[in-house]
Structure 1
Amino acid sequence: MTGTGSTRPTPGSPHPSPGSPLRVGLIGYGLAGSVFHAPLIAATEGFVLDTVVTSNPERQAQARAEFGDALRCAASADELWDRADELDLIVIASPNKTHVSLATAALKAGLPAVVDKPIAGTAAEARELAALADERGLLLSVFQNRRWDNDFRTLRKLLDDGGLGDVWRFESRFERWRPRPKGGWRESGDPQEIGGLLYDLGSHVVDQALVLFGPAVSVYAESDVRRPGAEADDDTFIAVTHANGVRSHLYVSATTAQLGPRFRVLGSEAGYVKYGLDPQEAALRDGKRPATHTPWGVEDEAMWGRVGSGESPLTGGGSPAPTLPGDYPAYYAAVAAALRGEGRNPVSAHEAAAALDVLEAARRSARDGVTVTL
């Protein structure tokens, strides 16, 4: 790298120098940046949160209050490209419509990048970004943090152990009760904003289904705008048929007055039913931070799911299945390892493109009333 005494390589070098801190520039300090990315970056061994990009003076003050006056704040991402030789990673946590342009700029500046989900509005754009990263030999990773939810980690273990037998049906719900829209770009009806629940929470439930059960071969969806004054989909159902025969039924909604189970997984030997959300988001929102040797992502035993057959878990059927702790910090630890050449990219842009194939098919299915073959 340029600069007197610097031990970090020039942008685009395969791996940072051993032992040197990895300096991170974070673009965006709204919900995603302030609640998820900044705390997790700061908690990752070997990472230093160097710069936060936000033009909002209040958010700049908020960032400095939490991470110290040594934190740099910039009003524009252009300031990062001008200092590319001082950084090792760019994290993009800005509104969805900016993801492609900012990721492209980062890669062209020779900087690896993490992009919040969805990485793009279309699978084609995601694959173009993946090709650019591959061409430049740079890491491009997608923040699919729900792969490290407590219930998802537990379900993966149950599947690996084989106790459910052959899975026939997977039900996944990410439901909320928000009868009045909150406003903002996430609920905008402007297609350029890439808002609505299909691309927001849908990005999570589709990604999880593909990780668990592999490629999709057909997609059917129903998508509605239910609430008065709402502009984007707020109640969506996606049915995915996987190549291995598993059927995934995925629900994302802001209009659910009675919440269903987060997971209901039905197999040839037993089923698994789990209620409630992973506690990590609530903890981060409350200002709690992951720390070494301190329990993180642990839920009360009363919230454990149950494994059994022949009777509802709500009437005592089955046996409690201990929930593994949630582990969002593992994502950035894996990114750090990948940057140092010591591990693989935890979520590639190619994987994100496969999920976008399903989301695009779901949008078409809901619009045209057809089942879409992939």
Structure 2
Amino acid sequence: MAGKTYNVGVIGYGMSAKVFHIPLVLITPQFTLHSIVQRTPKPNDDASKDHPSTKIYHSAPEMFADPSIDIIVITTTPDTHFSFTKSALEAGKHAIVEKPFVPTSGEAQQLVDISAKTGKLICVYQNRRWDTDFLTVKKLLDEGTIGRCVEFETHFDRYKAIRPETWKGTLGMDQAGGVIYDLGTHLIDQAYVLFGMPASVTGVFANQRNDGQAEPDSFTVMLQYSNGGPLVTAKAGVMCVETEQLRYWVRGSKGSFKKFHLDVQEDQLKAGLKPGDQGFGIESDDRAGSLVVLDGETKPKGSTLKNVTPLTYASLYAGFAKAIEGGGESAVPVKASEARDVLRIIEAAKESAKSGRSVAL
């Protein structure tokens, strides 16, 4: 007998909904795309034409009031996430929320509390936990291939000389806009998954474009861990002219791993591929990472290291389906409490950048 299916409503019809969420809803067996909120359809951008069997709403309250919806996916700008998630939970819906989760860790805690009170689950879309190169790094560390990690660098550098006219470039940091909430959320979340909460945070923000804007477009955040933990550097810049951009540089007591290029899944999704298609999530051999380990006591030995078999971003949706089916809060792939902790780190980085001092957590 087939299991229960859950009706999913999606708020927003921008790139996030079209590229990251709706394709994953459609391939998750337990989920049915029930409805979409698109406030202002256009002739060349009309959800009703793209998804003719799906109900279309023009406001979020209409969707909250629909008793047939089980899950609401929130893909709007981050300044709306708190109110929409709160409304979804209080309307008896589970929620999947795009990153950044909400503007503040205090708001995140409020939603954690509301989730517990209503019994409805929240999953935050930190999809880069399922980047295949990140899973490769995690496997190296878990298996002790390079020994004890002493230094971990995670980069999202690129050359992007024009500030984007989206929330990523126009919303202030107080509204969860800008680079630290866009890219920093990913990089710091990955460090959090590997190493947990740091002992202290040091943040440096800059406007590399020198475009006269008050909001920074680049950052370097250092996380220091006690008891022999690593120094983590998370870095994003927009004026990096390289043909191959550094992604990870991980140094351990017995070896080192260096990886260039971004995970391929985002570009593949934009091209219309989806998890399950041949080659999805698989990088070409020439993009393999470089591994150096000690051969004996002191002699380094180098080799290339291909990524592990992709789990893909579909794993987040599949995991949330299992949580709703009975796994509960402990089975949620990215818990709201974890997103709250990442926001605490970001807030410490902002405080550090303002004061010029490291901030203890």
Identity of aligned residues (%): 35
Residues 192 and 269 of structure 1: CA distance in aligned 2, closer, same or farther (over 3 Å)? closer
Determine helix, strand or coil for the equivalent of 1:200: helix
Partner Cα distance (2:176, 2:289) in 1:
34
User: Structure 1 residues 162 and 59, CA, compared in 2 at 3 Å: closer, same or farther?
Assistant: farther
Query: Distance between the aligned counterparts of 1:352 and 1:56, measured in 2?
Result: 31
Which of 266, 269, 272 is residue 251 of structure 2 equivalent to? 266
Return the letter of the residue paired with 1:161. E
Counterpart secondary structure, 1:294: coil
Residue 190 of structure 1, CA deviation: 3.5
- How far apart, CA to CA, are the structure 2 residues paired with 1:19 and 1:189? 42
Counterparts of 1:72-151 in structure 2, within 5 Å, are 72-83=55-66, 85-151=67-133
Residue 287 of structure 1 deviates from its aligned partner by: 1.8
The 1:167–1:99 alpha-carbon spacing in structure 2 relative to 1, beyond 3 Å, is same
TM-score, normalised via structure 2 length: 0.92
CA deviation profile, 1:62-95 (whole Å, cap 9, x unmatched): 43444x3111111111111210x20111111100
* Counterpart among 335, 357, 364 of residue 320 in structure 2: 335
Please tell me the root mean square deviation across aligned C-alpha atoms, in Å. Answer: 2.0
Letter in 2 for 1:138: K
Letter of the 2:42 counterpart: E
Using a 3 Å threshold, how does the CA distance of structure 1 residues 133 and 342 change in structure 2: closer, same or farther? closer
Q: Which of 274, 286, 301 is equivalent to 1:289? A: 274
Which aligned pairs between 1:151-170 and structure 2 lie closer than 5 A? 151-170=133-152
Shift of the 266–56 alpha-carbon distance from structure 1 to 2, 3 Å rule, reads same
TM-score (norm 1): 0.89
Shift of the 142–189 alpha-carbon distance from structure 1 to 2, 3 Å rule, reads: closer
Per-residue CA distance 1:271-308 (angstroms, 9 max, x = gap): 111100000100111122223x6342011011111210
Counterpart contact for 2:146–2:293, Cα < 8 Å: no
> Matches of residues 236-275 of structure 1 in structure 2 within 5 Å?
236-244=219-227, 245-258=229-242, 260-275=245-260
**Residues 104-129 of structure 1, C-alpha deviations (whole Å, 9 max, x = no match):** 00011011111111111111110110
1:305 and 2:289 aligned: yes
After superposition, the C-alpha distances for 1:34-64 in whole angstroms (9 at most, x for unaligned) are: 1111111112122111111111212895434
The question of 1:184 aligning with 2:166 is answered yes
CA gap of 1:299–1:77, structure 2 versus 1, over 3 A, is: same
Aligned length: 350
Please state whether the residue corresponding to 1:57 is helix, strand or coil.
coil
**What residue number does 1:19 align with?**
3
Unaligned runs of 5+ in 2: 295-299
**Does the residue aligned with 2:97 lie in a helix, a strand or coil?**
strand
Contact kept in structure 1, 2:164 and 2:170, CA below 8 Å: no
Q: Residues of 2 paired with 1:59 and 1:93: CA distance?
A: 21
| 1:56 counterpart residue number | 40
Q: Given residue 195 of structure 1, which amino acid in structure 2 is its aligned partner?
A: G
Partner of 1:43: 27
Name the counterpart of 2:216. 233
The 1:214/1:46 distance shift into structure 2, 3 A limit, reads same
Q: 1:96 to 1:80 in 2, by over 3 A?
A: same
More moved, 178-187 vs 134-143: 178-187
Structure 1 residue runs without a partner (length 5+)? 1-16, 311-315
Q: 1:359 to 1:175 in 2, by over 3 A?
A: same
CA contact (8 A) 2:202 2:223 kept: yes
Distance 1:191 1:219, change over 3 A: closer
Query: What CA distance in whole angstroms lies between the structure 1 residues aligned with 2:131 and 2:270?
Result: 16
Structure 2 CA distance for partners of 1:92 and 1:260, relative to 1, 3 Å: same
